[in-house]
Structure 1
Amino acid sequence: MFKKFTFRKQKASSFNELVEEAKKGYIPNHIAIIMDGNGRWAKRRAMPRIAGHHEGMKVVRKITKFANKMGVKVLTLYAFSTENWKRPQQEVDFLMKLPQEFLGTFLPELVEENVQVRLIGQRDGLPAHTRESVEKAIKATQHNTGLILNFALNYGSRDEMVYAIQNLVTDSNSGKIQPHEITEDVFSSYLMTSSLPDPDLLIRTSGEIRISNFMLWQIAYTELWFTDVFWPDFTEEHLLEAIVNFQRRGRRFGGV
């Protein structure tokens, strides 16, 4: 039935039926999203780039709620990369204020919906007001047992792996671990995602088909799904479409 389904043309009742049908299948435990296209969305509307980022923030809210409803265990959102500091200062300043605005208004709802907030990335490089707003949300939701909303903020996968190697070398030099004891699982335990499962599904919006230094180790066997839709236009229907597409695939992890 899914093959003949055009998501954006369905009535609410049909969409809800498809949600329930999809929930009978395997729901990805961990979905990671590269939220791309905010600036281009705004440009097409003759609006400043920051307007696109603000609109994208609203989408985070509804996609978080829908992922939680679908039974997703972890939702990792690529919010700001280590390379994004190269952007114009006005845009960077605005992006650094978004977590404060988003979590300030959405935090009570996150608590009510049993969502737990987490962060991967270099906290020390963030402005104090950004870091404090995220840490407040992490503390307020630390005992929640539902969806883990994991923000990748000031995050870069190469940076993450270099940091992990540095810590491994330090532990090896101090005798805590021997070189022959370093396995894939051990290395994974030194990454920022050590307490999380690897993503089952990676989504990138806006039509770009690249990974952009995002979770390079963790997505070794992740299913990839790309869409031309800009992030501010990404809807619950698009996420359902990605999940249904994921459910049709055969994951062999190198086997047959």
Structure 2
Amino acid sequence: MPAHVAIIMDGNGRWAEQRGLPRSAGHRAGNVAAREMVYGALEIGLRHLTLYAFSTENWQRDTEEIVAVLEAIRRELDEGPVRDLDVRQRWSGNPGKLPEELVRSLLREERRTRARTGLTLTVCLNYGGRDEITRTAAALARAARAGDVDPDLIGEDDFARHLPHPDMPDVDLLWRTGDEQRTSNFLPWQATYAELYFTPGHWPDADRRDLWQAITAYGRRRRRHGAAPLVSPRKPAVPTRPE
């Protein structure tokens, strides 16, 4: 059982286009699939679920689509059924360029749900892995200038403590839908040793059973983190009697 599953929810727009619908309809359907994953995670006791909702590269899309995506996320925060579940909601990303109303909703839900002990749901919004690492390095540089850390003794733990969410555990399973096989600047620090899992279906077609199938596939893999596999000691050969 993984402790942390991260998902790249890919294929909303293509799902809509295949049905002759505007791409915004695909993003609304994608929100329904995201709820399904939360329900499925709660049912099996998953501790951490992280969803890639909007990347720093997604600003290159059509303005109408961007507005639809961000407005759908805001409505989900303000009115969605997840807000009444035992879910601690957090977000990760750069607040710059995001609508102020959306940022207020994100911060409000973080404060309102921070004492919940069930699933920790992190939504990555205006998120880029390189951007996160750059901002973390800047925070670490400020700490070094203030004398809080010794630049000559900085280690991985020091860097991790300056991440936006230093308590976020490493990703065990990174799943991407939409028939693409790349990680697309998603959680590069936390997912260094993640098991990668790719599926061809578009995100709006996914439900909690797909999450469980992904976790089942994860359970069949052997995770060694660079260590040599354990080998059973060979039984000594039985000497043969000379003829």
What TM-score comes out, normalization by structure 1 length?
0.86
Mapped partners of 1:175, 1:75: distance in 2: 35
**CA-atom RMSD in angstroms:** 1.1
- Residues 187-234 of structure 1: per-residue CA shift (max 9 Å, x gap): 111112311101110000000000110011111111110000100001
Q: 2:12 aligns with which of 32, 38, 41?
A: 38
Residue type of the alignment partner of 1:162: T
User: Distance between the aligned counterparts of 2:66 and 2:17, measured in 1?
Assistant: 17
Q: Distance in 1 between matches of 2:164 and 2:51?
A: 14
Counterpart-to-counterpart distance in 2, 1:171 and 1:104: 36
Spell out the pairing of 1:124-143 with structure 2 (5 A cutoff). Answer: 124-143=96-115
Identity of aligned residues (%): 41
TM-score norm. by structure 2 comes to 0.91
Pairing 1:8-47 to 2, within 5 Å after superposition: 27-47=1-21
Unaligned runs of 5+ residues in structure 2 are: 229-243
Stretches of structure 1 that go unaligned for 5 or more consecutive residues are 1-26
Larger radius of gyration: 2
Q: In 2, Cα distance between the equivalents of 1:176 and 1:185?
A: 14
Q: 2:95 maps to what in 1?
A: 123
- Paired letter, 2:211: L
> Offset of 1:181 from its aligned partner?
2.3
Summarize deviations over 1:144-184 as a string: whole Å, max 9, x none: 11000100001000001111111111111221111122111
Deviation at 1:101, TM superposition (A): 1.1
What is the distance in 2 between the residues matched to 1:178 and 1:157? 25
Residue matched to 2:75: 101
Choose from 45, 49, 52 the match for 1:75.
49
1:88 to 62, 86, 89: 62
Alpha carbons 2:40, 2:209 under 8 Å: kept? no
Name 1:65's counterpart in structure 2.
Answer: 39
Structure 2 CA distance, aligned partners of 1:181 and 1:219?
24
Higher helix fraction (1 or 2) = 1
What's the CA shift for 1:127? 0.4
Distance between the aligned counterparts of 2:195 and 2:142, measured in 1?
Answer: 34
